[in-house]
Amino acid sequence: MNFKNVIINKYLLLIICGKGDCNLNTIQLTCFLAVAETLNFARAAEQLHITQPAVTHQIRSLESELNTKLFRRTTRTVELTHAGFMFLNDARSRLEIAGRAVARFSDPSFQEVLRFSVGCPSYAQLFSFPDIFRNLRELYPQLYPNFQVAPFQHLLKMLEEESLDVVIGFHETDVKKNSALFRELKQIPLFCVCTEDSPLAAFSHITAADFGHERLVLHAPFQAPPGVMTYQRSLASKRLPSELYFCESPETVLVLVAAGFGASVLPELFIPPDVTLVKIPIADAKPLSMGIYYKTLQGNPVLRDFIRLAREI
């Protein structure tokens, strides 16, 4: 290994770890992502062209460094633990940073991309943002948006640590005090979503009393925006457990509603414009405040223009 490669490797370790006493390396992170993608140590080894014991060793050493289990392993299955799921975005981001560092050192003509990191609890919250990013790209041709989807509290932590430039989400009044600022973009009404053959489809507007005994497809508790969770709770309290279906995301809610499992309650933002379901405004629910969380506009012209375009569009 020549002197230049030694310098690059030391530089990469500093970038990846973020502190001097960390021993995480690109091999560990690459093995972790391969196993997370395949959920199979043997297939991950084939993909990386190394032996399975080598992959196992790297995962164990990574778990030892992080002092947590990243995978739940049995003789038949491999699955990510909660900690492993939370580490996915960090691993991808750090390998991406390392890749850019290698390109920068190996090719003097390497053109730096302009990274802009956006966090959101669900991809559904991005349905109305394509025009904003299109206009932002015209202002910054080197723009490289990076999206992180994770639970809201984790996103706020990433924003606090400056791993994200902005978080798209609903205003949560019970969020613990932190340095994040919130700027409202729009008031989002709640809608009942059902199939055309549902008894609810005849309503032009609907209230909680009108739902009757219709089965419900709901967002899993603590994953829905607070306003949605409150309204769901008022509906669910009058039903048997067998009349309720809980989903992890708005997308899966819409799938089950379309399949006839029941009706649901969703913010208008979560309902694609081309959806074939019936959308009924809910008259007795307050609209949700949707906007963005950020730390500061100083030294970040991309964020400043992103907020301006979001408010205009």
d(CA 140, CA 302): 8
Q: Tell me, what DSSP letter sits at residue 18?
A: S
Q: pLDDT over 70 for what percent of the chain?
A: 86
User: 3-state DSSP call for residue 254?
Assistant: helix
pLDDT tens profile 202-216 = 999 999 999 988 999
Q: What are phi and psi of 91, to 5 degrees?
A: -65, -45
The alpha carbon of 173 is separated from its chain's Cα centroid by a whole number of angstroms, namely: 20
pTM over 0.75: no
pLDDT at 186 over 70: yes
Residues 74, 66 contacting (CB under 8 angstroms): no
- Alpha helices by DSSP H, listed for 23-175, are 26-38, 41-48, 52-66, 82-106, 130-139, 152-160
Each residue's pLDDT tens digit, 239-276 = 888 899 999 888 899 999 999 999 999 999 888 877 88
β partners of residue 117? 146
Closest to 165 measured CA to CA, from 290, 291, 289, 293: 293
Packing angle of the helix pair 26-38, 3-17 (nearest 10 deg): 60
pLDDT for 175 equals 55
C-beta separation of 250 from 219 below 8 A: yes
Q: What backbone phi and psi angles, to 5 degrees, belong to 307?
A: -65, -45
